[in-house]
Amino acid sequence: MFVLLSCSPLLAEVLEAGTTLEVRLSNATGSSISHPGDQIEGTIIAPISLAGQVVVPQGSKLIGSIERVKRFGLGLKQVTATIHYRFHTLQFLNGEAIPVQTEVLEVETAKERVDIDGTVRGIHPAVSLSSSLAIFTVPLLFAVPTVGVPVWGIKCMIAPSASPEIYFPSGTELILRLTAPVEVPSSAKRLAGAMSFPPDELSEVHRLLNGSPQRARLGAHPSDFVNLLFLGSRDELDRAFHAAGWSHAERKSPMSLYRMYHALTRRVGYRRAPMNTLTLNDAPSDSVYQKNLDTVQKRHHVRLWKDPRRADVWLGAAAEDIAFRFELTHWTHSTAPNIDHERAKVVNDLAFTGCLEEAVLVSREPQEQVQGPKGERLILTDAAIAVVRLNDCNSPTAMPGVYANAAKGVHGRLARGLASLRNDLRLNLFFTTYNSLKLVFKRRTLKPLRTASSVDTDPPGLDWLSAPATQQQSSSQQPPVNANRKSTQ
């Protein structure tokens, strides 16, 4: 099974300012339910390693509070809803705690944005299809109710209103950054390592990978890179991914397409959103898992293909959707360039559940860059494949919020209709014009929002895995020093 070995004696290590922490919230928070001073807690879901030692293991806790929160309300005082988290204490598995200074860098797979000072900022209600229709339907509702009521009812069906308030359920994942160095006590450190494969099994892994395609295809075009290989049954994979908060993707159907449209118009998440069919060796994927929050524009996802030679072998292609783009005659997702981040995300999530038995990085080719039509870099990868063997996973450790009801405000059609009316009242001609002008003026004085392109990212760290292995040697290079997927150092 996955093990972290103790090491003694150990000297203290210092985590520098800029080190990133991947955290999963244990509390539901939001602009309409949180208050300044409310206590919050998060769980570290990706280990942080330095020089081959895990200095912040998975399962460590971050404790903090809500520092500031502002509701959107009627939109008269606020341009958008905001919430500011302050995590101040890092508690290790042995109970020892140290003070830390952090700021929020990103809310994973969320539609909300983060200011440069770490304040999370919600959406503005005047930037959606529903807001345009509300300008006409709300006045009609009051001027000519006999006409306005049915028109407004149809509008609620085809373009329900998006809530401008921020709501993050238990299980929301954040990327934090240390704003000051912190000294990690020696008692908290562990040797980084998972049980690796014996030489004869590594040879078998290389045989399985030999000749297998490196990229899946979308029709006739090359698409996602194969960067994972799993050894385990479908049931073991299901239990591990579900405990880590991942969901199966639904097949495309009229109902799933309607749910996708509904999620787009209301600007909410769709945990089982359908995905395009990619093929490997001309075969469609056998299983698809994804993890998202409150938008269909962003999600983590991995497609799996069963190896026809062995029932317990699965080739996987993991990538992260970060936005929509229009391509020829249809909309599709843009993916994050560095796909090694997503490989690390998948392996770290499964390691958290305790379902990871053995793991190793296996090199296939030298580092590869795939250039776009104008020379821009679209994909960056070291081309290594993470090979993971799962245990039976009968009693996995679930991530916070996995089995909690993440739905908010689902009380029936009448309640949803009243909530939609409340949102529409914010979007009449007066409020829409007033808030739009205020938003334009406010943006001149706001600090710039942090975007994906403004965050420098380094290759992910999987220090607790074995170094990338070849058939001749098992440690041909030193792995990166951070166990995080993202870094701004």
Query: Is residue 412 in a domain?
Result: no
pLDDT at 372: 52
CB 63 within 8 A of CB 96: no
Q: Residue 224 and residue 242: Cα distance in Å, rounded? A: 23
Q: What's the structural domain count of the chain? A: 2
Residue among 298, 13, 309 at smallest CA distance from 182: 13
Same domain assignment for residues 444 and 329: no
Q: Look at the chain and count its residues.
A: 489
SS3 9: coil
Is residue 131 one of the residues assigned to a domain? no
Tokens of 382: 């070291």
Cis status, amide bond into 9, omega within 30 of 0: yes
The residue to which tokens 């069963």 are assigned: 306
Q: Which pLDDT score, from 0 to 100, does residue 335 have?
A: 85
Q: What is the DSSP letter of 5?
A: B
Letter string b/e over residues 383-421, b meaning 16 or more CB atoms within 10 A of that residue's CB: bbbbbbbbbebeebebbbbbeeebebeeeeeeeeeeebe
Q: Which of 386, 401, 416 is the last residue of a domain?
A: 401
Helix (H) or strand (E) holding 296, with range, is: none
Amino acid 330: pLDDT: 60
pLDDT, position 482: 38
- C-alpha dihedral over 444, 122, 83, 27, to 10 degrees? -160
Q: Which residues contact 407 (CB under 8 A, 6 or more apart)?
A: none
Can you give the pLDDT at residue 54?
Answer: 87
DSSP of 156-180, one letter per residue?
A: HHHSPPPP-S-EE-TT-EEEEEESS
Per-residue model confidence as pLDDT tens for the chain (489 residues):
333 333 334 456 889 999 999 999 999 999 999 999 999 999 999 999 887 788 899 999 999 999 999 998 766 677 789 999 999 999 999 899 999 999 999 999 999 999 999 999 998 766 555 565 555 555 655 666 676 566 656 666 666 677 888 999 999 999 999 999 999 888 776 766 566 788 888 888 888 888 788 889 888 888 899 999 999 999 999 999 999 999 999 988 888 888 887 788 778 899 999 998 999 989 999 999 999 999 999 999 999 999 988 889 999 999 999 987 766 666 677 888 889 999 999 999 999 999 999 999 988 765 555 555 544 457 888 889 999 999 999 999 999 999 875 444 444 455 555 555 555 555 544 555 555 555 566 555 555 555 443 444 444 456 556 545 544 333 333 333 234 555 434
Q: Which domain holds residue 368?
A: 194-401
Domain containing residue 56: CATH number: 2.40.128.260
Asked whether residue 474 is assigned to any structural domain, the reply reads no
Residue 176 lies in a domain: yes
Q: How many CB atoms lie within 10 A of CB 268?
A: 18
- Residue 7 placed within a domain: no
In this structure, are 48 and 183 located in the same domain?
A: yes
Listed in order, strand segments (DSSP E) in 298-441 are 299-306, 313-327, 330-335, 356-362, 368-371, 377-381, 385-390
Q: Is residue 336 part of a domain?
A: yes
Report pLDDT for 329: 60
Domain identity same for 271 and 391: yes
pLDDT at 480: 32
If asked whether residues 101 and 245 sit together in one domain, one would say no
Predicted TM-score (pTM) of the model is 0.81
Cα distance between residue 168 and residue 69, in whole Å: 13
Q: What is the largest CA-CA distance in the chain?
A: 80
Whether residues 311 and 375 fall in one domain: yes
pLDDT, residue 288, reads: 96
The two tokens of residue 378 are 């679209």
**303 and 200, same structural domain?**
yes
Q: Are residues 293 and 250 in the same domain?
A: yes
Evaluate whether residue 380 is within a structural domain. Answer: yes
